[in-house]
Amino acid sequence: MTSSTIIDDLKKKKILALLKEGQRIDGRALDEPRQLTIDTGVIPKAEGSARVRLGDTEVVCGVKVQPDKPFPDLGDRGIFICTAEILPLADPSAEPGPPGEEVIELARVVDRGIRESGMVDLKQLVLEKDKSVVGIFIDNSVTDYDGNLFDACSYASVASVLSCKLPKFKYDSSNGSVSKVEGEFSAPPITTIPVSVTMGKIGDTIIVDPNADEWSCMDGRITITTNAAGNICAVQKGGHDGFTPEQLVQCSKISIATGAKIRDILKQAGGS
Amino acid sequence: MGVKKTDIVLLDENGIRCDGRKINEPRRIMIKAGVLKNANGSAYIEFGENKILAGVFGPRDVHPKHLANTDRGILRCRYHMQPFSVGERKNPAPSRREIEISKVIKEALEPALMLENFPRTVVDVFIEILQADGGSRCAALDAAAVALADAGIPMRDMVSACAAGKVADTIVLDINNEEDQEGQADMPVAYMPNLGKVTLIQLDGVLTPQEYEKCVNTALEGCKLVYEVQKKALQEKFFGDDAK
């Protein structure tokens, strides 16, 4: 997050020297993500919620479910919106105020990965076509920063949705009003579990799940989201260096393999 | 927007797409370099129905000053859509989509620029979408890269961008607006053709691992076609008719 400083330059030298021997600064293997712990149901007032720790990165996520008007050109689909925010208490360089380009990219990449996978079948969230649908609003708040917010926010969102209880709504066609049926809940219509895997490129070495030290000195990064069938549903490249076409294929393979392991953790946390 | 799924055939039985193109055929591309008087470098591109203007200023003093980097120059990029560039009027304030695209375009151009030669300065790239069709970020990048070269900023390589996608279960080159709306996947790619590096890749839509690899390679073929058009535009600007 912070721009390059003298400390970062020194750290980068150390990180590069270690990578030449196939080692990382925190002792992990190149393709090894940090430990992932997920607690769901941490915010009882939210319909779904999760606290996720990925190494020392921590995210709290809540899902609110409420009736809404559909988008004009998507009258046969429910609404799914995923946001992300870095709280000012998460990092000394984070400030309150309107989001910068990095935070906007974060939110859009997290949203895109889950949306494009079709995780939630939005066609099952229609109360009355073109008039009223159910909206699922997922808000991520980063509470502690140690790199790779893309994956931490994505896992928090997925775990929150998996643990979510959808209230039942009734549409009254005589006056167009929507009311909640008290005490009736159902599971959301889940079709697949998307897993986002972010890789950093330092020099020509690809590392999975960079921590804050690695994040601040990496040359390029790529986030690849896969679904339960092992297909690729979203990609985002970032950073100031490019990838060779061979590296792009290598990264997709890493994402599929790593994603399968993380999917099991998400499944367990979501209680399914 | 608003087009019903049943209205268009994306790919007919002869492998012809909704706008009459073949599977591996890009839309018409025209680039003209040096179209603005005041900008240090500029370019205009027509890529299918996209009409895009790019202007470059710099290297110049950085304002505000605290953004300056003592080791190298910085690059700033603004991708902006005109309110009249799309079907329904677009609010002229920058949207979250435009902010994200500005960022990925900046990061796609950065690897090509030798900004280490210009510490404490900034290069500003302004991209105005006058008319948008599918694939405007790739077309914008193509124009911006030509404008940077036109400005005489030292570059390691050109940056050429083109999208590929999946339409009617087939991987096709350079998807247009209808194919973007109704198709199954969209993958914009930017490439430095001589260094062999991909500087931008995004994907939305589901692809198998085999389709993913094919889609990347299809997009790279498109980038190489675009590269030839970019070279021609610069040759015409600097050598006029002698370029032929």
What domains does chain B contain, in order, with CATH numbers? 21-238 (3.30.230.70)
Mean pLDDT across A42-57: 96
Residue with tokens 């900008």: B39
Contact predicate A64/A57, CB 8 Å? no
Mean pLDDT across A32-48: 96
Put simply, whether B187 touches A (Cβ < 8 Å) is yes
Nearest to A79 by CA among A64, A96, A61, A94: A64
Per-residue model confidence as pLDDT tens digits over B24-39: 999 999 999 999 999 9
Put simply, whether B131 touches A (Cβ < 8 Å) is no
* Closest approach of A76 to chain B, Cα-based (Å): 12
Q: Output the pLDDT for position A5.
A: 67
Nearest to B44 by CA among B153, B127, B106, B161: B127
Contact list, A257 vs chain B (CB under 8 Å) = none
Per-residue model confidence as pLDDT tens digits over B99-147: 999 999 999 999 999 999 999 999 999 999 999 999 999 999 999 999 9
CA dist A75 and A22 (Å) reads: 52
Q: Output the pLDDT for position A97.
A: 87
Mean pLDDT across A88-99: 90
Percent of chain B with pLDDT over 70: 95
pLDDT score of A2 more than 50:
no
DSSP three-state, residue B46: strand
Contact list, B191 vs chain A (CB under 8 Å) = 242
Put simply, whether A222 touches B (Cβ < 8 Å) is yes
pLDDT score of A96 more than 70:
yes
Residues in chain B: 244
Q: How far is CA A145 from CA A79, A190, A210, B236, in A?
A: 29, 30, 12, 51
Q: Output the pLDDT for position A176.
A: 85
Q: Output the pLDDT for position B13.
A: 87
CA dist A95 and B26 (Å) reads: 44
Q: Output the pLDDT for position A217.
A: 86
pLDDT score of B74 more than 90:
yes
Say if residue A136 is exposed, middle or buried (CB neighbours under 10 Å; 0-12, 13-18, 19+).
Answer: buried
Domain boundaries, chain A: 6-270
CB atoms within 10 A of CB A190: 17
Specify which residues B82 forms β-bridges with.
none
Confidence of residue A13 (pLDDT cuts 50, 70, 90): confident
Q: Output the pLDDT for position B243.
A: 56
* Closest approach of B169 to chain A, Cα-based (Å): 14
Q: Output the pLDDT for position A79.
A: 96
Contact predicate B190/B200, CB 8 Å? yes
Q: Up-side HSE of residue A248: CA atoms within 13 Å toward CB?
A: 33
Confidence of residue A11 (pLDDT cuts 50, 70, 90): confident
Q: Output the pLDDT for position A149.
A: 97
Confidence of residue A6 (pLDDT cuts 50, 70, 90): confident
Q: Which spans in chain B are helix H?
A: 96-109, 136-150, 177-182, 209-239
Least CB–CB distance from A231: residue in B69, B191, B208: B208
Least CB–CB distance from B199: residue in A105, A232, A242: A242
Query: Which run of H or of E encompasses B29?
Result: strand B29-33
Confidence of residue A113 (pLDDT cuts 50, 70, 90): very high
Say if residue A178 is exposed, middle or buried (CB neighbours under 10 Å; 0-12, 13-18, 19+).
Answer: middle
Q: Do A231 and B111 touch (CB under 8 A)?
A: no
pLDDT score of B153 more than 90:
yes
Put simply, whether B200 touches A (Cβ < 8 Å) is yes
CA dist B92 and B83 (Å) reads: 5
Mean pLDDT across A9-32: 91
Q: Output the pLDDT for position B17.
A: 93
Put simply, whether A257 touches B (Cβ < 8 Å) is no
Contact list, A101 vs chain B (CB under 8 Å) = 99-100, 102-103
Put simply, whether B154 touches A (Cβ < 8 Å) is no
Residue with tokens 């080791």: B71
* Ramachandran quadrant class, B34 (left: phi over 0; alpha: psi -120 to 50; beta: rest): left
* Closest approach of B205 to chain A, Cα-based (Å): 5
Confidence of residue A247 (pLDDT cuts 50, 70, 90): very high
Nearest-by-CA chain A residue for B220: A245
Q: Output the pLDDT for position A9.
A: 77
Contact predicate A56/A146, CB 8 Å? yes
Mean pLDDT across A178-183: 91
pLDDT score of B1 more than 60:
no
Nearest to B174 by CA among B185, B163, B166: B163
Contact list, A256 vs chain B (CB under 8 Å) = 209
Mean pLDDT across A227-232: 96
For residue B15, give the DSSP letter.
S
Beta-carbon pairs below 8 A across chains A and B = 104
Contact predicate A219/A205, CB 8 Å? no
* Closest approach of B116 to chain A, Cα-based (Å): 13
Per-residue H/E/C for chain A: CCCCCHHHHHHHHHHHHHHHCCCCCCCCCCCCCCCEEEEECCCCCCCEEEEEEECCEEEEEEEEEEEECCCCCCCCCCEEEEEEEECCCCCCCCCCCCCCHHHHHHHHHHHHHHHHHCCECHHHHEEECCCEEEEEEEEEEEEECCCCHHHHHHHHHHHHHHCCCEEEEEEECCCCEEEEEEEEEECCCECCCCEEEEEEEECCEEEECCCHHHHHHCCEEEEEEECCCCCEEEEEEEECCCECHHHHHHHHHHHHHHHHHHHHHHHHHHCC
Residues 6+ apart with CB under 8 A from A66: A134, A135, A137
For residue B118, give the DSSP letter.
S
pLDDT score of A236 more than 80:
yes
Query: Which run of H or of E encompasses B73?
Result: none
For domain A6-270, which architecture applies? 2-Layer Sandwich (3.30)
Per-residue model confidence as pLDDT tens digits over A128-142: 999 999 999 999 999
Residue with tokens 């260096």: A241
